[in-house]
Each structure stands twice: as C-alpha cells, then as structure tokens.
Amino acid sequence: MRRLLFLNGIKAFEAAARTGSFAAAGVELNVSAAAVSRMVHLLEQRLGLALFERKANKLVLTQAGRAYQSGLTPIFDALASLTAQVTAPSSMRVLTIGVGHTFAMRWLIPRLSEFRSEEPDIEVRFTTGGASVPFGEDWSCGIKLGTGDWPGLVAEPLFAGDLTPVCVPRLASGLKRPADLRGPSLIRVAHSPEDWPLWLKAASLARISARGPEFQFYGQALQAAADGLGIAMGIRPYIDDDLAAGRLVAPFDLSVPKGMRWYLLYRSFQTEQRDFAAFRRWIMRTASEPAARPVRRIGRAAARN
C-alpha cells in the first residue's frame, strides 16, 4: 500500500516552495494564502518536521523542505504532462521545443522536414528559448548553449560551440593568413564579446582588436557577413549550411572551442513519452552528422597560450 499523506497539503507545500510565498501559491491553487499556510502546517504536523522557516515577509526552506520540494516538483510536472497527454484528442500529438531564434532559423527549421517525414503525426511548436529564458513548464524539451549545468534537467550534448571566422568568397580571397585581419571590418556580437579575442589569441594575434559593426545576435552578424559587410565570427552549427552552400567560407584552417556546448534539455520523465523519444532519437542522430567542412581544432589549453 502506498503511504500518501495529505495530498492537499503536499500540493500546497510544493506550490509555496516553488513560488516562494503562500500568497503566490494561493493564486495558483485558487485558495487564500491563509488556507495554503494551514495546509502546509498540517502537513508539517503529520510529517513531524518543519518544511519552512517562517520569517517576516519571507519563506525559507529547511534542509528537509529543500529535499522534499526537489523530489515533488518533477513528480507534479510528470503528472501534469501525463494528464495532458491522456486527455488530448487521440489525433493531436504536440511537441513543444524551447529554442532560440537563431538556432531555429539556421539549423533546426532547415532540417525539420526530415523529422516530419519520419513522424508526420507529430505537430512541432517552437517557443522562445534563448539562453536567458528559463525552462518552460509546457516545454517538451529545450535547446540551449551553455556549460551543461541546469539543475533538475537532463542535458545531453549536441554540438561543440566551435568558433571560426567566416565571410563571403570575395573577401576571403584577400585573406592569406590570420594577420591579414588587421585591415578588414570584424563584425561583432554584443552578447558574446569574448569570441573574437579568444580566436585572435589562439592565432597569436592578441594585439588585434575587433573593430566593426556590432549586432545583438549571431544570426544578424552572419547575415551581415553574407551581405559582404565584413568578417563575422562563426559558431557551429549556425555556419554549417552556409559553408556547405558556399554562401560563406572559412578562410583559415583554425577552429577554437568557445568553452560551451549546445545541449538538448528535458525532464527525466519525458523519456517515457513517445513523441519526445522520437524527436530525441532524430536530433541526436542528425547532430552527430559531420559538419560541412573540417577545420583544424585546437584545445582550450592551447588557445590560452
């Protein structure tokens, strides 16, 4: 027999722990803050331990409370997902992917027809999922660039975030060696100011400063490079298709690791859901396919020398 103590109290505690207050939990559960507080207090009495330290205008989880909440939230997420799956019309199979605009446009969407041909009954929906966006409760999975540290989520690596300069063939014809970068316009990405210095240092050109137009996102910078505005720092996998098509070229045989990778993120229970399992198999297989063009890759230790 399962020993399930006071499910209403467990639900009230999980909501309060996740939202940080009885008031916010009450709004979510459609009850008063006082009702949430009472249910949590009754739960604590039945468990025989304190889950919160109640301070002025603040709730602080005890050690036991943190352990309890870390286990409960995935369970409730899984229950909500299972309920949605069971109650959805049998003809509706929806996969929601949290992904940044540039990744979607430059890699995922151009390959999505392959997945659709394998799984024509799954409706794929994209939602905003850039690096600064938290993992959404309604997401089936996410794709993010980072170090792999996302507590509570499974992170499977897709690509190394390797850097190499790219430009149109016309500009590349004047670039015989990395030192030739002293003259041309070097296009920058505002949220990744370290890219050019990292690559230039690896090429023994640390004294060169990237001076050129600055754009907010990689996609904008790469479009500017494709329009001949200058030389952009390309990052995998954004540049793969442009290199394969010849729209852009990588004039130097040098690729430097950014120190981050692209990851497929998901909650552990998602592996039991057939639609996500199908997408996971497809994207892991597709991501393992070779890039458009091999480049000489150096280690991070060498890049620092």
Per residue in 154-169, pLDDT (tens digit) is 999 998 889 999 999 9
Tokens for 285, please give them: 């297989």
The span from the CA of 54 to the CA of 35, in Å, is: 15
Residue (of 122, 136, 127, 124) closest to 103 by Cα position: 127
pTM: 0.66
Sequence spans of domains, the chain: 7-76, 94-159+260-288, 161-259
Give me the mean pLDDT over the 48-69 stretch: 86
The CATH classification of domain 161-259, taken from the options 3.40.190.10, 3.40.50.2300, 1.10.3720.10, 3.100.10.10: 3.40.190.10
CATH of 7-76, one of 2.30.40.10, 1.10.10.10, 3.60.15.10, 1.20.1270.360: 1.10.10.10
Q: Do domains 94-159+260-288 and 161-259 have the same CATH topology?
A: yes
pLDDT in tens, 161-197: 899 999 999 998 888 888 888 877 899 998 889 999 9
Domain 94-159+260-288, CATH class in plain words: alpha beta
- Tokens at 90, concatenated: 């049998």
Q: Residue 115: how many CA atoms within 13 Å on its side-chain side?
A: 23
Could you tell me the pLDDT band of residue 216, with boundaries at 50, 70 and 90? confident
What is the per-residue pLDDT across 7-57, written as a single tens digit (0 to 9) for each?
Answer: 888 989 988 888 888 888 898 888 998 999 999 999 999 888 999 988 777
